[in-house]
Structure 1
Amino acid sequence: MKEVILFYNGLNVLTRQILKSKGAIPNKTSAYAKIVIQEMTEYSQKWHNGTSSKSRSTETSDKLATLQDQLNNFKREIKKVNEKVYVAQVRCELCKGPHYPKDCQLKEEWNALEEAYYT
């Protein structure tokens, strides 16, 4: 256990905090302390060698880039659709005004003229 305490005392503050997250090392058995230190060492080697998270990070970045491209394509398509939308032009056949013939003020006069013409 002395060797574990010597090792622990030689660590920097950040590394001690990481080990403390598993429980106070000086209060544990030497076998448990060695296992915790070994796990931390293996994780640290994987992290620094890039064998564990680099491939996941690259894969995630690639997926995000693909999603961003898809969103950009959707935006372009929506712009195209919006550009092709035309406003319907309403024009009265009676007075050529910007309203429907049924709403024309001249409709009553027109109807009266039609009745007079047909009778």
Structure 2
Amino acid sequence: MQARATRTAFEAWQERIGVCRDFAHLAVTLCRCLNIPARYVNGHLGDIGVPVVDPMDFSAWMEVWLDGAWHTFDPRNNKPRIGRIVVARGRDATDVPLINSFGPHVLKSFRVWTYEVAQ
């Protein structure tokens, strides 16, 4: 069974498979069922501070409103990461898609560089 673009939060939970978007939707849904404000976030998650296994890419995670502030949680990686670059925040992936257009796309090249900056 593979991840697909139309997976619902319930299917991700039931089938225990998905991509970062699916797990973010599932966690946002759980928080909202518990009356905890949560929002979907997409952006770039680099490889700073982690062993490089696969090329890094755009990613999805969530933010939860706790004690008067938004806090980042990553249901896919399930551990703190540094170097997140937020592209958009919204109710879900439909609210803030990384691309929203019609017709064929040919991506010739795309690169993102991230560097750790000392405080």
**Which structure exhibits the higher relative contact order, with contacts defined as CA atoms closer than 8 Å and separated by 6 or more residues?**
2
Q: TM-score, normalised by structure 2?
A: 0.18
Q: TM-score, normalised by structure 1?
A: 0.18
Name the structure with the higher helix share.
1
Name the structure with the higher strand share.
2
For the pair shown, the structure with the greater C-alpha radius of gyration is 1
